[in-house]
Amino acid sequence: MPRIRHLAIVSPNRERLVNFYTSAFDMRVVYGRPTSTHLSDGDFNLAIVDQKPDLKPGLYVLGFDVDDLQDLEGRLKKAGASSELTPMPKDHDAEFRVLDPDGNHLDLAIHGWCVV
């Protein structure tokens, strides 16, 4: 059964949001990248991503841990996904991305999100 494990937020001020989520919700920084900081509460990951010209600030991607991608791929199509599964780059946390019927990004991680 797919489980929600990750949310990415695009921000014009990454440091401000990292400070907010670590202070208000006791989330921990688990790793950083040049354009993102990844937080966790031990079960759920939150990525704070730098805003780029092609991205609006706000919620950007919802990530799921998945067990059986073949079964899920058929269910996604039948439910009205607006894209095919797209492989993600090797340095990405999820292996695939798909768009829901409204075009929202959904990341699918077979090996799970890094949580600490």
Write down the domain spans for the chain.
3-109
Mean of all residue pLDDT scores within the chain = 90
The superfamily CATH assigns to domain 3-109 is: 2,3-Dihydroxybiphenyl 1,2-Dioxygenase, domain 1 (3.10.180.10)
Stated as kind and residue range, the H or E segment containing 69 is helix 69-79
User: Which position has the higher pLDDT, 115 or 23?
Assistant: 23
What's the token pair of residue 88?
A: 């993600």
User: What's the pLDDT tens digit per position in 11-39?
Assistant: 999 999 999 999 989 999 999 999 999 99
User: What's the pLDDT tens digit per position in 98-113?
Assistant: 999 889 999 998 876 6
Interacting residues of 67 by C-beta distance below 8 A, sequence separation 6+: 1, 2, 110
Distance, in Å, from the CA atom of 42 to the CA atom of 60, rounded to the nearest integer, reads 21
Give the pLDDT band of residue 41 (cuts 50, 70, 90).
very high
